[in-house]
Amino acid sequence: MRHIIPKTYREALEHLKSGSLHILAGGTDLMVQNRAWSETPVAFKKDTLYVYNLEELRYIEREGDMLHVGALASYDMLERHPDTPSALKRCIALLASPGLRRVATLAGNIGNASPAADGVLVLYALDARVVLDSADATREIPIEEAITGPGRTAFEDGEMIREIRIPLEDFDSERFKKVGGRKADAISKVSFLGAAAFDGDVIKDLRLALGAVNTTVVRRREIEAQYQGLTAADLKARSQEIREAYAPYVRPIDDQRSTATYRRQVALNLIEDYIHSL
Amino acid sequence: MADITFTLNGERITLREEPNLRFLDVLREKLNHTGAKEGCGEGECGACAILLDGHIVNSCLLPLASVDGRDVVTIEGYRMTERYQMLEKAFIEEGAVQCGICTPGMMIAAESMLRENPDPTDEEIRHGLAGNLCRCTGYNMIIAAIRRAAKEGEGLW
Ligand SMILES: Cc1cc2nc3c(=O)[nH]c(=O)nc-3n(C[C@H](O)[C@H](O)[C@H](O)COP(=O)(O)OP(=O)(O)OC[C@H]3O[C@@H](n4cnc5c(N)ncnc54)[C@H](O)[C@@H]3O)c2cc1C
Ligand code: FES
Ligand code: FES
């Protein structure tokens, strides 16, 4: 296996031309997934491109109503940045531990493509977009298109995330919930982000996203759209109907963390409770 | 093999090693710094904590490649400081050490937190220790020790 430590981003992109590589950012997923015996090197199954020290990609910048998050900006940097959306800050506060947040990245959360990824859940709700570079092209895709299934992304060999773009919008109500085991380290059994903006009494924007209940994060814009323009009171009166609208998309699996029935109940309760809180 | 250069407890060193070695193993096996421990090897327990550029990280999740050009402080280096002395005294007085396996990691977590927040509430201390497990003490003594160190060591952080 080859180990490539590029000195510049340009050099990294040139190396990516040579085929499928592990891109190691914070390493908090890759190091665990490829763990070998103690005292032996990590057993990567592909050639590895170590990008953690590419300072060029370690930035967070606001431009108008858009936040540009460089691929190597850590959760810790996001937590401290004044322009980070509060929904993302809520999620980061519950994500693992200070040591992990110091090195781990949102780009890695996307690249790992777990249906239980907390950062990705927030990115879905905030309409984030992902900018992918290769040695000779750049494209920008919505987060929903970036992730295609558990552990699967739409990235081509040769591409890597340069940055994540998050539109900055104000919400009047926000709730992030993670129902898991131990608060710090539990990768979610079920996670939820709800956000709403009102115009007077009328809902002008409603966003509901659920993690760990399907092969990717569940966000249904067509359902959200149906309830925009209603008052909070109307919405509450229809909470049961909203719950049922999501039921077909809540199709969790049994795994070592939880059973499907439990996850399903919890996920639908989270939606209903949030509607009642508005 | 790659040449990786970093500072370890104030001393600049260059190693020619496999970049995919876990930094925890480099410390323990190649550099004879055994203060950082292996608990879980998966980022869950904090026994392997070190300071990277002044902030806690888990050395079991860190490949050697990522350390290139950075500043590392382990418990061996931290021991030489006045802040450590204050923490040590507080840990002893509060009975915050039983088997001791978690202690180096707890001290590193405490340092990382106090550096940013010299006067933490108990809730903030708990948040700062969220990545460090202790099987013995039940945490209350550790929290009390950090509270005491912050109070008695006012001005140190
Ligand atoms: C103890 C522990 C607790 C955790 N808790 C949580 C939690 O609460 N919530 C949660 O969501 N996750 C959690 N995780 C998982 C992990 O920390 C996150 O998914 C993190 O965001 C991964 O980022 P990283 O930079 O460390 O990724 P890496 O391990 O470096 O990479 C992960 C994947 O992304 C790819 N990748 C990285 N950067 C790029 C790029 N620029 N372009 C393209 N692909 C890229 C890699 O090739 C790899 O496939 C936890 C992990 C551990 C070990
Ligand atoms: S050994 Fe590194 S966190 Fe447990
Ligand atoms: S004192 Fe034994 S694990 Fe903490």
pLDDT at A261: 83
Residues B13 and B72 reside in one and the same domain: yes
A123-180 residue pLDDT tens: 999 999 999 999 999 999 999 999 999 999 999 999 999 999 999 999 999 999 998 7
Residues B72 and B92 reside in one and the same domain: no
Q: Does B122 touch chain A (CB under 8 A)?
A: no
Chain B residues with CB inside 8 Å of A100's CB?
A: 43, 57-58, 61, 131
Residues B121 and B60 reside in one and the same domain: no
CB contact under 8 A, A31 and B21: no
Q: Does B113 touch chain A (CB under 8 A)?
A: yes
Q: In angstroms, what is the span from residue A6 Cα to ligand 2's centroid? A: 28
Q: Which of B51, B77, B103 is the last residue of a domain?
A: B77
CB contact under 8 A, B18 and A53: no
pLDDT at A187: 59
Task: Pull the structure tokens for residue A93.
Answer: 């506060």
Kindly report the protein residue whose alpha carbon is nearest to atom 27 of ligand 1: A108
Q: Among candidates A171, A19, A33, which has minimal Cα distance to B41?
A: A33
Question: Got the DSSP string for A86-107?
Answer: HHHHHHHHTSS-HHHHHH-BHH
Residues B122 and B105 reside in one and the same domain: yes
CATH number of the domain within which B21 lies: 3.10.20.30
Residues B66 and B48 reside in one and the same domain: yes
Residues B116 and B92 reside in one and the same domain: yes
User: How many domains in chain B?
Assistant: 2
Mutation choice for A interface testing from B3, B45, B51, B61 by most A CBs within 10 A: B61
| CA dist., res. B12 & res. B35, Å (int) | 19
pLDDT band at A263 (very low <50, low <70, confident <90, very high): confident
B54-100 residue pLDDT tens: 999 999 999 999 999 999 999 999 999 999 999 999 999 999 999 99
B135-150 residue pLDDT tens: 999 999 999 999 999 9
Q: Is residue B157 part of a domain?
A: no
User: Which of A16, A47, A101, A112 for mutating ligand 1's site (highest number of atoms within 8 Å of CB)?
Assistant: A112
Percent over 70 (pLDDT), chain A:
95
What's the complex ipTM? 0.96
pLDDT mean over B24-39: 98
CB contact under 8 A, A35 and B131: no
| CA dist., res. B14 & res. B32, Å (int) | 15
Q: Which of B61, B77, B93 is the last residue of a domain?
A: B77
pLDDT band at A189 (very low <50, low <70, confident <90, very high): confident
Residue A184 has pLDDT above 60, yes or no: no
Which chain B residue's Cα is nearest to A25? B66
| CA dist., res. B77 & res. B11, Å (int) | 10
B120-135 residue pLDDT tens: 999 999 999 999 999 9
pLDDT mean over A211-225: 95
Q: Where are the domains of chain A?
A: 3-167, 173-277
Mutation choice for B interface testing from A89, A97, A183, A187 by most B CBs within 10 A: A97
Residues B64 and B127 reside in one and the same domain: no
Report whether residue B137 contacts ligand 3, using a CB cutoff of 6 Å.
yes
Alpha-carbon distances, residue A25 vs A14, A161, B32, B96 (angstroms) = 17, 11, 27, 35
Residues B86 and B73 reside in one and the same domain: no
Residue B39 has pLDDT above 60, yes or no: yes
Q: Which of B59, B77, B95 is the last residue of a domain?
A: B77
Q: Is residue B7 part of a domain?
A: yes
pLDDT band at B44 (very low <50, low <70, confident <90, very high): very high
Chain B residues with CB inside 8 Å of A35's CB?
A: 41-42
> Which ligand 1 atom is the nearest neighbour of the CA of A132?
42
Q: Is B48 exposed, middle or buried (0-12, 13-18, 19+ CB in 10 A)?
A: buried
| CA dist., res. A244 & res. A242, Å (int) | 5
A253: left (phi over 0), alpha (psi -120 to 50) or beta: beta
pLDDT at A38: 84
Residues B40 and B58 reside in one and the same domain: yes
pLDDT at A188: 65
A34-78 residue pLDDT tens: 999 888 999 999 999 999 999 999 999 999 999 999 999 999 999
Q: Which residues lie closer than 8 Å to A6 by C-beta, 6 or more apart?
A: A12, A15, A49, A50, A51, A54
Q: Which residue type sits at A214?
A: N
Q: Which domain holds residue B133?
A: 81-152
Residues B32 and B96 reside in one and the same domain: no
Kindly report the protein residue whose alpha carbon is nearest to atom 45 of ligand 1: A111
Give pTM, 2 decimals.
0.96
Q: Under CATH, what is the fold of the domain A3-167?
A: 3.30.465
CATH number of the domain within which B89 lies: 1.10.150.120
Q: Is residue B31 part of a domain?
A: yes
Q: Is A160 exposed, middle or buried (0-12, 13-18, 19+ CB in 10 A)?
A: buried
> Which ligand 2 atom is the nearest neighbour of the CA of B41?
1
Q: Does domain A173-277 have CATH number 3.30.390.50?
A: yes
CB contact under 8 A, A48 and B62: no
A7-44 residue pLDDT tens: 999 999 999 999 889 999 999 999 999 999 888 999 99
Q: Is residue B105 part of a domain?
A: yes
Which chain A residue's Cα is nearest to B30? A39
Percent over 90 (pLDDT), chain B:
99
Residue A252 has pLDDT above 90, yes or no: no
